[in-house]
Structure 1
């Protein structure tokens, strides 16, 4: 009987010590949390007592802190991007407006011949503004939209030809003669027609503004993807890794009329249609490759790999 009492006493003492240590660990954690909140420090909670449930609580707390820091960084990044976007929009709209205002004032003191020339310039500036506003509208709509783009299988080559023909006059003015290479004109991809047409148009406009001959477009299947490759000579220096960023313009293009959103729209639309897009620059040649899904299966597979 005495032995049992001794054993029970020892067990009780051990449990009491463990309980005291646990209480001290909880008090230490509470003190550290208050210090972290007060000082806004990034220090981690120390573990003064090895107790698995307590360790899990600390792990969850640290995970919440990491997520909170990431959310704060994302919020700050979004705020900075919003400021940059508003500044870019303001600058890009103010430029043609200032030009239009100046030519309107000059109209008052111009003769008939000069008035016609000024009116032609004003009309051109208004078209530039219309294009800028349309680009901003498209980008804002893409950012705000939560609806998925509905894609279907359809031939890609006719859409590509239509896009090139719509800008053929501008390409000729720049001395650019597009060369199209297509293995199978009936090959199909899973896309949304209007969105793919916008991608093609933006890529062609990018060549007109910042590229030169030779300009080639290749279209051919590879595995379960349809490759559409735009390749053109470069006439300016730029960072190929930043080409899809909002408002990015090459060094020589910063004072031109582009909004800097055309390639960002390309990237956004490609992501929504599961089109893989990649830009490469080798020496004086820029190559932009679109990998278009040829079936719903290839879209699903790519999405699963991304997860």
Structure 2
């Protein structure tokens, strides 16, 4: 009887010691968590060798590292967003200021021919601004989920030809001409016609803004390849060319929002196709592949 009582007392003392030890461990963990809450980047540490406590400590440290990584990514994204907004505001202000300047010159000019030239130049700047705002509007729809496709069978060549004819004046001003090489003029693809028109428009406009030579459009099976020459100062990175707001540095001053090729890739993928880019010396190729 006495032996059982002694064993019982020893067990009670041991349980009390374990309880006190657990309380101290929890207080230590709470104290360290409070330090982390105040901005400390320390990791939790415990003296216990109990499996459950060690597992809790490892889990909390893993969550803390994940939170720190998320914070760094968020701050990086926020800084990038601010840079993009600043650049976009500059890009929008540039053609607007140009148009305003030409209108002012036209108002002060007495020569009819000169006035017509100034007004035409102002109209060109306003068209640049309209294209940029249209791309920005489409970008918000694509990223906001408020976008629906109307997919149907579309004949590619007539739609592409229509886009090229619509930009005839820009080709004339640049002194270049497009070359279209189709192995199958009857090629039809499943696509949203307006989206496909926007894709062609953006690729042609990109070649006009940043290209230095003729634009060559080649069709091979269900692939369309847009190829043009780029200058040494406007060579893009093919790995980044489809990222939102991406621009080659020297192209920053030109009338571009940096969203054109992002929209191309996004629309192609939503229609089940793909868009890729490659740069071989001074030749930039954008490759569209349509789904079967």
* CA distance 1:110–1:247, shift in 2 (3 Å): farther
* CA distance 1:53–1:141, shift in 2 (3 Å): same
Task: Determine if the alignment matches structure 1 residue 21 to structure 2 residue 31.
Answer: no
Contact 2:91 2:253 in 1 (8 A): no
| 1:132-157 per-position Cα deviation (integer Å, ceiling 9, x unaligned) | 222222223323x2245436463463
Task: Determine if the alignment matches structure 1 residue 235 to structure 2 residue 223.
Answer: no
Q: How does 1:223-302 map onto structure 2 within 5 Å?
A: 227-237=223-233, 238-240=235-237, 241-294=239-292
* CA distance 1:182–1:24, shift in 2 (3 Å): farther
| 1:107-127 per-position Cα deviation (integer Å, ceiling 9, x unaligned) | 324322322222222222222
Whole-Å Cα distance in 2 between the matches of residues 100 and 23 of structure 1? Answer: 73
Contact 1:96 1:128 in 2 (8 A): yes
Larger deviation, residues 109-118 vs 149-158: 149-158
Contact 1:231 1:286 in 2 (8 A): yes
How far apart are residue 66 of structure 1 and its match?
Answer: 3.8
Unaligned runs of 5+ in 1: 222-226, 295-307
The total of aligned residue pairs comes to 286
Contact 2:215 2:226 in 1 (8 A): no
* CA distance 1:53–1:149, shift in 2 (3 Å): farther
How far apart are residue 94 of structure 1 and its match?
Answer: 2.1
Larger deviation, residues 51-60 vs 254-263: 51-60
How far apart are residue 251 of structure 1 and its match?
Answer: 4.0
Scaled by the length of structure 2, the TM-score of the pair is: 0.80
* CA distance 1:117–1:27, shift in 2 (3 Å): same
Task: Determine if the alignment matches structure 1 residue 134 to structure 2 residue 134.
Answer: yes
Three-state SS of the structure 1 residue aligned to 2:177 is: coil
Tell me the residue number matched to 2:82.
83
Contact 1:279 1:286 in 2 (8 A): yes
* CA distance 1:86–1:55, shift in 2 (3 Å): same
Task: Determine if the alignment matches structure 1 residue 68 to structure 2 residue 64.
Answer: no
How far apart are residue 206 of structure 1 and its match?
Answer: 1.0
How far apart are residue 46 of structure 1 and its match?
Answer: 1.0
